[in-house]
Amino acid sequence: MRMLLAGEWVDRAETIDVRDPFDGSLVDTVPSASPEDVETALAAADRARETARRMTTFERWRVLTGAAAIVRDNLEDFARTIAREGSKTIREARKEARRTVNTLTISAEEAKRLNGETIPFDSFPGGEQRRGHFQRVPVGVVLAITPFNDPLNLVAHKLGPAIAGGNAVILKPATVTPLSALKLTEALLAAGLPSDVLQTLTGHGAVLGDTLVADPRVRMISFTGGLEAGRRITARAGLKKIGMELGSNSPVVVWKDADLEWAAETCVSGAFWAAGQNCIGVQRIYVQREVYDRFRDRFVELTRAYKIGDKLDEATDMGPMITETEAERVSSWIAEAVAMGATVLAGGGRTGALVEPTVLEGVPETATIHREEVFGPTVNLYPFDDLDEAIRSANSVDYGLHAAGFARDVEVCFRLIEGLDAGSVLINDSTDYRLDSMPFGGIKGSGLGREGVRFSLQEMTEPKVVCWYLPGL
């Protein structure tokens, strides 16, 4: 596929291969953008600010609704693209494509709800004969940088609100999964987005990132990705708005009166969705000791039943990790935990990029797989006697995106809601439940600010105050 630059679809002599991580087969190639392309994109986006700002609310709504319809009408094609270039199975990919329709539809709706407030200027002496209000105006140019694990919907989470808010956008999708983003770019143009309002640059973040991030023509950076890149971008950004959606290491606490069957089923899915490459995937589960053995046995049974392999096979539950290197990293973390005394209850093996769904027990808090974001298909189980101690251990990492608790006792539920340090606490659901319109984001190393269309739209616009002095009033 080609990239979109200054209103044109362009090729470049230097290209990047997009390969299926399951078998290494070539899916497509994309241009490798050069530093000159970055300058072209920045200049074009800066010029397109006016075009974007002048799109009426109705036009923004029409483009976003039209793009949502295109994704819906071509759902299988979008799903196959997600499944081939990334890690998701076809069933997981269909769900992401359906969510993308929602994200674009919500963005269209929110465009119509973007409003301000009147300001009571006469509420203090000195404000007499003044009337006014504030309205929300676009920030100008939004730089959107996206990761590989939700290659379509996370792009929609940035483009949807940016367009709804009247901004020009430069999109830099993950190098390993650029095709879904390019297809969404095509859909937006087909739905009537002026072609210069969006620049979709394909190329390596390590090469293009520093210049894009530091440029003063970019007024907001909306980044989703890992902590390391997030820290680097924040350090280089200078004076501009920043939204950081980073990783996590999500804990679940299971109390003795919980529906154990539901907790096990939904947490197995929450741990191994997208081969565990999910920022809100379940990584650590604390289970009250009285029900620990029952929960563990059922969890292990369900894990062992997981079918791993070809992503395009309807029967496959879990595909490969995004690269063999990532799979090797996860294997080495499992090996470290075992060397520190942990036991493998299920899985633990690896073939190429395919890591078996793995359940560990007896992982010490000092192990990397306890402390860091694993971003792979592994889960640690811990029995506990004291709820406060379970909450302390659940909070003992430098992340806080989602946390979950399973219980029927309302008091226990409230202790979990109040005690767990996270952007969201899910009660009786796995940590990987998310609605695309809810405020989404984390604390500590999980990031800054909130996404979820309405909340992104606030971040991507600014209040502009209008004050009238009318002495005749």
Binding part of the chain for ligand NAP, among 87-95, 163-171, 198-206, 358-366 by CB under 6 A, reads 198-206
CB of 366 to ligand NAP, least distance (A): 21
Site string for ligand NAP, 27-66 (x = CB under 6 A): ----------------------------------------
Binding part of the chain for ligand NAP, among 223-231, 259-267, 330-338, 346-354 by CB under 6 A, reads 223-231
Residues 6 or more apart whose Cβ sits within 8 Å of residue 443: 400, 421, 422, 423
Nearer of residues 110 and 451 to ligand NAP, judged by Cβ: 451
Q: How many CB atoms lie within 10 A of CB 204?
A: 12
Provide the 3-class DSSP secondary structure of residue 85.
Answer: helix
Q: How far is CA 246 from CA 203, 278, 389, 402, in A?
A: 21, 11, 26, 12
Q: Is 270 in the site for ligand NAP (CB under 6 A)?
A: no
> Closest by alpha carbon to 312, among 151, 82, 98?
82
Q: Is 381 in the site for ligand NAP (CB under 6 A)?
A: no
- Determine the residue with CB nearest ligand NAP: 209
Structure tokens at 121: 């200027």
Strand partners of residue 244: 223, 448
Structure tokens at 115: 């409003």
CA atoms within 13 Å, Cβ hemisphere of 261: 0
Which of 148, 295, 333, 384 is the binder for ligand NAP (CB under 6 A)? 148
Nearer of residues 360 and 401 to ligand NAP, judged by Cβ: 401
Q: Is 172 in the site for ligand NAP (CB under 6 A)?
A: yes
CA atoms within 13 Å, Cβ hemisphere of 255: 20
Choose, from 245, 326, 373, 451, the residue flagged as catalytic: 245
> Closest by alpha carbon to 54, among 196, 264, 230, 234?
196
Which of 279, 282, 300, 334 is the binder for ligand NAP (CB under 6 A)? 279
The beta strands (E) that lie in 63-178 are given as 117-118, 130-138, 141-145, 168-172
CB of 226 to ligand NAP, least distance (A): 3
Q: Is 174 in the site for ligand NAP (CB under 6 A)?
A: yes
Length, in residues, of the chain: 473
Binding part of the chain for ligand NAP, among 87-95, 105-113, 148-156, 407-415 by CB under 6 A, reads 148-156
Question: Rounded distance, CA 13 to CA 132, Å?
Answer: 55
Burial class (CB within 10 angstroms; exposed 0-12, middle 13-18, buried 19+) of 19:
middle
Q: Is 249 in the site for ligand NAP (CB under 6 A)?
A: no
Respond yes or no: is residue 328 known to be catalytic: no
Nearer of residues 40 and 456 to ligand NAP, judged by Cβ: 456
Nearer of residues 321 and 337 to ligand NAP, judged by Cβ: 321
Q: How many CB atoms lie within 10 A of CB 301?
A: 12
Q: Is 167 in the site for ligand NAP (CB under 6 A)?
A: no
Which residues within the stretch 110-129 sit at the binding site for ligand NAP (CB under 6 A)?
none
Respond yes or no: is residue 14 known to be catalytic: no
Q: Is 246 in the site for ligand NAP (CB under 6 A)?
A: yes
Q: Is 375 in the site for ligand NAP (CB under 6 A)?
A: yes
Q: How many CB atoms lie within 10 A of CB 299?
A: 25
CB of 200 to ligand NAP, least distance (A): 12
CA R_g for the chain: 23
Choose, from 85, 92, 267, 279, the residue flagged as catalytic: 279
CB of 277 to ligand NAP, least distance (A): 7
Question: Rounded distance, CA 318 to CA 350, Å?
Answer: 13
Give φ, ψ of 285 to 5 degrees.
-125, 120
Nearer of residues 191 and 401 to ligand NAP, judged by Cβ: 401
Give the catalytic positions in this structure.
Answer: 245, 279
Which residue ranges make up the site for ligand NAP (CB under 6 A)? 145-150, 154, 172-175, 204-206, 209, 213, 224-226, 229, 232-233, 245-247, 279, 373, 375, 401, 447
